[in-house]
Amino acid sequence: MNSQERSFERVNQKRRTRAELLRAAREIIEKGGHPSVADVADHAGISRATAYRYFSTPDDLIREAVLDGVATMISIAPATSGADAAEVEKRLDKLVSDIFAMLVANESVFRTLLGNSVTGQNQNRRGGRRISWLKEAIAPLEGRLPSKHYQRLVHALSLLTGIEALVVMRDICELEPKESEKILRWAARTLLAGALQDAESKGE
């Protein structure tokens, strides 16, 4: 094996080790646990010293385990040229539905992440992915809405596309998932329509 092959194998080994740590973390989290780095290392059969080289704190590990497990579940198709308001509504509706399905499928994991954030144990910035998804879904409106209105719409929609929305629907409103999804999709469509109407009425 030459030096290039050895380098390639080392990179692959690092990827496998990281993936195994994240898999082990998810298994513990999905059972309602709040694992330490040492707990995850033991569960994965990897030395604790090695695990700490990849993740220095439990917060980092939990966050990456959650995001790694769900990042591939959301897919947004490119918008067609000259997409109108009706197409944007369909794109947004699909995104809200897809995100809700992702949250329901990984509810215990996301609740753990939210719990760490609420208690101040996790200082990492949350919500970055949902903002990117939303901007991509309503991208045809960028340039058609004033920048201030566009950003305000994205920020308002972010309230409907995270574990916080699911907690409100399930824990406070005591609704079943099917009804919860309907309400969140309706709210997203209403926000979109209101933003478009507001911009039109002001002639902007």
List pLDDT tens digits, range 55-79. Answer: 988 888 887 887 777 766 788 988 8
CATH classification of 3-56 is 1.10.10, yes or no? yes
Query: What single-letter amino acid sits at 99?
Result: I
Residues in the chain: 204
pLDDT at 127: 52
For range 5-12, the mean pLDDT:
71
Q: How confident is the model at residue 4 (pLDDT cuts 50, 70, 90)?
A: low
Residue 109 contacts residue 26 (beta carbons within 8 Å):
yes
Three-state secondary structure readout of 135-198: HHHCHHHECCECHHHHHHHHHHHHCCCCHHHHHHHHHHCCCCHHHHHHHHHHHHHHHHHHHHHH
Q: Which two tokens stand for residue 168?
A: 């409100």
How many CA atoms does the CB half-sphere of 183 hold within 13 Å? 15
**Model confidence at 13: pLDDT above 60:** yes
Buried b (16+ CB within 10 A) or exposed e, 110-145: bbbbbebbeeeebeeebeeebeebbbebbbbbeebb
Note the pLDDT tens digit of each residue in 64-118.
Answer: 887 777 766 788 988 888 889 999 999 999 999 999 999 998 888 788 778 766 6
Note the pLDDT tens digit of each residue in 144-179.
Answer: 888 889 999 999 999 999 899 999 999 999 999 999
Could you state, in order of their start, the residue ranges of all structural domains in the chain? 3-56, 74-201
> How many whole angstroms separate alpha carbon 65 and alpha carbon 18?
10
Q: Which two tokens stand for residue 139?
A: 């991208």
pLDDT at 124: 46
**Residue of higher predicted confidence among 60 and 127:** 60
Q: Which two tokens stand for residue 76?
A: 């947004």
- What whole-number percentage of the chain has pLDDT above 90? 48
